[in-house]
């Protein structure tokens, strides 16, 4: 048997700390019974994916609903996949949606918390300390196989069930100390491999919080735990970090399920208590009658920056995420209409096993509802912030007169049944366009029973009596009062009973006025619109419409 201690010293001459040092540097957390520690640990590969936000949300709620800790760790061990600004894109994305981390990476190179560094590239010495200890115990060994040799193994295993560095293929597993020394002296690069204690006959069982009981073959592969540059693979970093950061629950994508036997083996080899796993299925999308994963390449809504650009308020996106995170959320929301999202009793167990479905129409509905409950001031403030970045024209309209803009946004707001016209801030320019001469586009198309002749009649009479100082009742009485002289009835029921006796009803009369003033057959409260437009514009728009209809009639 070779002297593992000597081997460890040979491989890691500069490592002078021991696992015990780090165990006491990062002690067990002093949290109340049942408090969970969860993390979001993305790789900084460019931008925050909607699926990432969804997973981060689940992880955060898992911690917050138990008064635990939620932290952000950056997994940047694969420098090839890293994109400049990738970390800040993640931090900004989480911040935008109000996902507050208790600890971890906070952007612009900073971190907070006592269990850091929270960036894997700053933890090389920690990983190497634990790797050295594995070598000392004979649980890890250096492998000098070149890429070509490994490729040959792959080819030789083409027909085999178990693929990888194991059994007779694990050539470096039993090198003598002299052979290892010679390799090192000749400058051969080496990776460090786990000496797997697994057996092909054995099965392991574990409980996944989302998927329930899972049984799988034990890991027999001697996987690489440190690469040639001394940087760990995901597997090794996961075990070391989640243990030292005292994570209790690992909430991550289900592409990692296949690696759980290896991860449990690593925890055991390292002497760590295993974490609990919750594997999340990817977000799906309906496409061509089938379902597929929400894709970075095909779906703009896969990037969370899309929501900011379109102007979906974070309140809406968070509310929507909860509807797809837990199937009982919507019932809860019906029973708790005005409650804060944080009051929802989120449960990892209620997450979908097959993958939540992303549905843009549903997001739009949820968002309309969320925005309909906001005050005009809030809608103004949030949409103004958005406009300054994404829609200069809207920002300029707002800046002409803030109070006018707020009054426009306040139409039909604050009552029992607020209208649900706005799903995202980019809907606002169209929604308010007729309230500004700059963007008003006249359109004289009529709906219902009205025609050009009736329109001329109605507008001539309305022009004579319109008075902007009328209150809402007086205003409506006046509209009713012109019905009979125009051959219409103020009573819709009466019209329905005897349609041939009238040219239309009060609804048609209102439509004529509405279309003249706004260019649209459907708008929020016409009385408020009229009042805000002011006498001058009202008369001007009526005159324009009259010119048009007179030619038509
Ligand atoms: N960095 C890994 C990934 O982005 C994280 C998986 C995990 O949460 O453990 O897939």
pLDDT digits (tens, 9 = 90+) for 247-281: 999 999 999 999 999 999 999 999 999 999 999 99
**How many other CB atoms are found less than 10 A from the CB of residue 151?**
11
Please give the pLDDT value at position 46. 75
pLDDT tens sequence across 352-368:
999 999 999 999 999 99
> Does the pTM exceed 0.75?
yes
Ligand 1 contacts CB of residue 279 (under 6 A): no
**Radius of gyration of the chain, Cα coordinates, nearest whole angstrom:** 33
* Residue to probe by mutation, ligand 1, list 38, 41, 72, 243, most atoms within 8 Å of CB: 41
Please give the pLDDT value at position 404. 98
Residue 341 pLDDT > 80: yes
DSSP 8-state code for residue 89:
H
Ligand 1 contacts CB of residue 73 (under 6 A): no
Q: Which helix (H) or strand (E) holds 43?
A: none
Tell me how far apart the alpha carbons of residues 87 and 123 are, in angstroms, rounded to a whole number: 17
Please give the pLDDT value at position 1. 79
Which numbered atom of ligand 1 lies nearest the CA of 242? 9
- Residue 291 is encoded by which pair of tokens? 């379902």
DSSP 8-state code for residue 349:
G
β-strand partners of 40: 72
Please give the pLDDT value at position 260. 98
Residue 503 pLDDT > 90: yes
Q: Which helix (H) or strand (E) holds 189?
A: none
* Residue to probe by mutation, ligand 1, list 256, 257, 267, 280, most atoms within 8 Å of CB: 256
What value does the mean pLDDT of the chain take? 95
Three-state SS annotation for 388-447: HHHCHHHHHHHHHCHHHHHHHHCCCCCCCCCCCCCCCHHHHHHHCHHHCCCCCCCCCCCC
Half-sphere exposure of 512 (CA within 13 A, CB side): 33
Please give the pLDDT value at position 194. 98
Sheet holding 140-143, edge to edge: 140-143, 191-194, 224-226
pLDDT (average), residues 157-186: 95
Backbone angles phi, psi at 231, to 5 degrees: -90, 140
Please give the pLDDT value at position 414. 87
pLDDT (average), residues 113-124: 96
Please give the pLDDT value at position 331. 95
pLDDT tens sequence across 79-111:
777 788 889 999 999 998 999 999 999 998 899
With contact defined as beta carbons under 8 Å apart, do 17 and 129 qualify? yes
* DSSP β-ladder status, 191-194 and 203-208: unpaired
Tell me how far apart the alpha carbons of residues 218 and 196 are, in angstroms, rounded to a whole number: 10
Ligand 1 contacts CB of residue 42 (under 6 A): yes
**How many other CB atoms are found less than 10 A from the CB of residue 312?**
25
Residue 348 pLDDT > 80: yes
* Residue to probe by mutation, ligand 1, list 37, 38, 39, 43, most atoms within 8 Å of CB: 43
Which numbered atom of ligand 1 lies nearest the CA of 45? 4
- Residue whose CA is at the smallest distance from ligand 1 atom 10: 42
pLDDT tens sequence across 444-466:
999 999 999 999 999 999 999 99
pLDDT (average), residues 408-414: 95
- Residue 261 is encoded by which pair of tokens? 């036997």
- Residue whose CA is at the smallest distance from ligand 1 atom 8: 252
Find where tokens 């300390």 sit.
129
Which numbered atom of ligand 1 lies nearest the CA of 252? 8
Whole-number Cα distances in Å, 265 to 135, 174, 269, 320? 15, 20, 6, 38
pLDDT tens sequence across 29-83:
999 999 999 999 999 987 889 999 999 999 999 999 999 999 999 999 887 777 8
Ligand 1 contacts CB of residue 233 (under 6 A): no
Tell me how far apart the alpha carbons of residues 230 and 10 are, in angstroms, rounded to a whole number: 14
User: Residue 435: which pLDDT band, with cuts at 50, 70 and 90?
Assistant: very high
Backbone angles phi, psi at 438, to 5 degrees: -60, -30
Ligand 1 contacts CB of residue 300 (under 6 A): no
């Amino acid at each position: 048997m070779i002297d593992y201690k000597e081997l460890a010293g040979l491989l890691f001459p500069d490592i002078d700390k021991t696992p015990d040092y780090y165990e006491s540097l990062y002690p067990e957390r002093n949290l109340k019974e049942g408090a969970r520690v969860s993390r979001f640990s993305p790789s900084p590969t460019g931008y925050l994916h909607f699926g990432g936000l969804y997973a981060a949300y689940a992880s955060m709620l898992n911690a917050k609903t138990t008064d635990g800790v939620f932290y952000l760790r950056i997994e940047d061990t694969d420098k090839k996949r890293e994109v400049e600004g990738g970390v800040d894109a993640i931090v900004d994305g989480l911040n935008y949606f109000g996902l507050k981390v208790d600890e971890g990476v906070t952007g612009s190179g900073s971190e907070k918390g006592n269990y850091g560094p929270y960036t894997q590239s700053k933890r090389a010495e920690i990983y190497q300390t634990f790797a050295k200890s594995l070598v000392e115990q004979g649980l890890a060994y250096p492998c000098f196989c070149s890429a070509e040799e490994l490729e040959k193994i792959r080819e030789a295993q083409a027909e085999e069930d178990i693929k990888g560095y194991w059994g007779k293929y694990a050539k470096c597993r039993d090198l003598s100390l002299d052979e290892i020394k010679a390799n090192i002296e000749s400058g051969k690069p080496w990776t460090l491999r786990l000496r797997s204690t697994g057996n092909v006959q054995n099965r392991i069982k574990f409980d996944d919080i989302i998927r329930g009981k899972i049984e799988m073959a034990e890991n027999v592969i001697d996987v690489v735990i440190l690469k040639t540059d001394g940087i760990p693979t995901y597997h090794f970093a996961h075990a070391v970090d989640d243990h030292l950061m005292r994570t209790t629950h690992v909430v991550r994508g289900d592409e990692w399920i296949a690696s759980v036997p290896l991860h449990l083996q690593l925890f055991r080899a390292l002497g760590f208590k295993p974490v609990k796993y919750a594997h999340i299925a990817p977000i799906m999308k309906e496409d061509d009658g089938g379902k597929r994963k929400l894709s970075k390449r095909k779906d703009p809504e896969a990037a969370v920056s899309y929501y900011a650009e379109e102007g979906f308020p974070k309140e809406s996106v968070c509310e929507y995420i909860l509807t797809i995170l837990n199937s009982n959320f919507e019932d809860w929301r019906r029973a708790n209409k005005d409650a804060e999202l944080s009051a929802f009793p989120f449960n990892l167990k209620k997450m979908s096993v097959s993958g939540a479905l992303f549905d843009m129409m549903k997001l739009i509905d949820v968002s309309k509802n969320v925005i309909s409950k906001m005050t005009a001031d809030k809608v103004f403030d949030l949409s103004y912030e958005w406009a300054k970045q994404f829609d200069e024209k809207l920002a300029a309209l707002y800046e002409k007169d803030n109070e006018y803009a707020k009054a426009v946004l306040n139409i039909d707001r604050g009552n029992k049944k607020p209208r649900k016209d706005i799903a995202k801030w980019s809907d606002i320019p169209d929604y308010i366009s007729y309230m500004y001469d700059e963007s008003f586009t006249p359109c004289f198309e009529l709906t219902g029973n009205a025609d050009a002749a009736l329109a001329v009649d109605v507008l001539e009479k309305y022009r004579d009596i319109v008075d902007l100082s009328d209150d809402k009742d007086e205003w409506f009485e006046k509209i009713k009062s012109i019905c009979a002289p125009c051959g219409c009835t103020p009573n819709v029921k009466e019209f329905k009973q005897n349609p041939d006796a009238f040219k239309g009803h009060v609804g048609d009369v209102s439509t004529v006025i509405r279309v003249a003033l706004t260019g649209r057959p459907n708008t929020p409260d016409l009385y408020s619109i009229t009042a805000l437009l002011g006498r001058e514009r009202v008369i001007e728009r009526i005159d324009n419409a009259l010119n048009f209809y007179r030619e038509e009639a």
